[in-house]
Structure 1
């Protein structure tokens, strides 16, 4: 019995698994199973080298349908994307995209249909690689910007200053309770508890903002 599997990427907060499934179902796909790739970047990692990517290759059989939001989920560059799609087609798996509802099926034997299909694969893979390269370039630019001006990338300003943190740290070392420390430092009890949970992070945050 054939099955339809959605391969979803959830490497960022914006890439919500449930949202991707809802999008696929709204596009008319009847999803039997979702295979989610958590925190693995398609920009840097081949599909076959990702844990869930390997699971796809092991699981999909002839007649199954693989659904992806866009072909860039299937590789890190032109070669990876085209290799993955052609390997799935060779196995008799149909690859479909949520965006633009594209279908890649290796079953066709008509030369014209094959030519159109292969041209589409090449075009979409090229687009995916261009997007990946743009993402990597933006990441490199961001890293360079941090080096040039770290203050622009120092994160959210903490709700305490160095003096308040010193009070909290000293009283914590003396075994004082969170409520007593909050009263002495002028901070909320929740803030004191956050500092107690990760004092190193609290110190680093103050240092970033007081350079």
Structure 2
């Protein structure tokens, strides 16, 4: 019997497994089981090295479906994400994403279709790593800014978004989502989305300054 498993990963306190599960179910996925890692970095820790990530390789069988919000939940390291998806496909596991409703499997034997599929996997994996590195730099700049102005600093206006929303906006922008779609998904105004998009470093600095 085919099993549908959602893998969720949260690396900060602001992110929630429940949100990822709710998003998957609202997209129509009939989830049989949720496997989740908390506080695990997708950039520095391979899926096979995470406690619950290892379970996926043990539990998933031929024709099972692995659901993730997007490929960045599997990881944010280019090589790891590519290797992981290819290994699951080799085992007959179908990998599906909630965002963009992508499906990756080993069904096709046509070399041209395989090449297109593999190129798409590589592109998405590279995007996940590039976005993670960009966010990391923006957050570092924000922390440095806050430290430099620690004594007698003017905090400015409190951000109208949380760290989780900031991360989600970056995720969706990197995936080519439009401002209207992002605003609907995050419950933020279009103006806020544009502010984060145009000034990511300042937005990260504001979060850091307020300890958010």
Question: For this structure pair, what is the TM-score category when the shorter chain's length is used for normalisation?
Answer: 0.5 to 0.7
Q: When the two structures are superposed, what TM-score results if normalisation uses the length of structure 2?
A: 0.67
Matched with 1:134 is 134
Query: Is the CA contact (8 Å cut-off) linking 2:76 and 2:125 kept in structure 1?
Result: no
Matched with 1:106 is 106
- Identify if the C-alpha distance between structure 1 residues 71 and 153 changes in structure 2 by more than 3 Å, giving closer, same or farther: farther
Matched with 1:80 is 80
Query: Is the CA contact (8 Å cut-off) linking 1:7 and 1:68 kept in structure 2?
Result: yes
The structural deviation recorded for 1:153 is: 10
Query: Is the CA contact (8 Å cut-off) linking 1:24 and 1:98 kept in structure 2?
Result: yes
Structure 1 stretches lacking a partner, 5+ long: 155-211
Q: Which of 1 and 2 has higher RCO (CA within 8 Å, sep 6+)?
A: 2
- Identify if the C-alpha distance between structure 1 residues 147 and 119 changes in structure 2 by more than 3 Å, giving closer, same or farther: same
Q: Which moved more, 1:144-153 or 1:56-65?
A: 144-153
Structure 1 CA distance for aligned equivalents of residues 31 and 113 of structure 2: 27
Residues 5-34 of structure 1, C-alpha deviation per residue, up to 9 Å, x if partnerless?
Answer: 000123334422222112111212110000
Structure 1 CA distance for aligned equivalents of residues 154 and 139 of structure 2: 13
Query: Is the CA contact (8 Å cut-off) linking 1:43 and 1:136 kept in structure 2?
Result: no
Structure 1 CA distance for aligned equivalents of residues 150 and 62 of structure 2: 53
Structure 2 stretches lacking a partner, 5+ long: 156-212
Asked if 1:8 is matched to 2:41, the reply is no
Q: When the two structures are superposed, what TM-score results if normalisation uses the length of structure 1?
A: 0.67
The CA RMSD measured in Å over matched residues stands at 1.9
Q: Which has the larger radius of gyration?
A: 1
Query: Is the CA contact (8 Å cut-off) linking 2:89 and 2:104 kept in structure 1?
Result: yes
Residues 138-169 of structure 1, C-alpha deviation per residue, up to 9 Å, x if partnerless?
Answer: 23223422442234599xxxxxxxxxxxxxxx
Structure 2 CA distance for aligned equivalents of residues 39 and 50 of structure 1: 10
- Identify if the C-alpha distance between structure 1 residues 19 and 147 changes in structure 2 by more than 3 Å, giving closer, same or farther: closer
- Helix, strand or coil at the partner of 1:12: coil
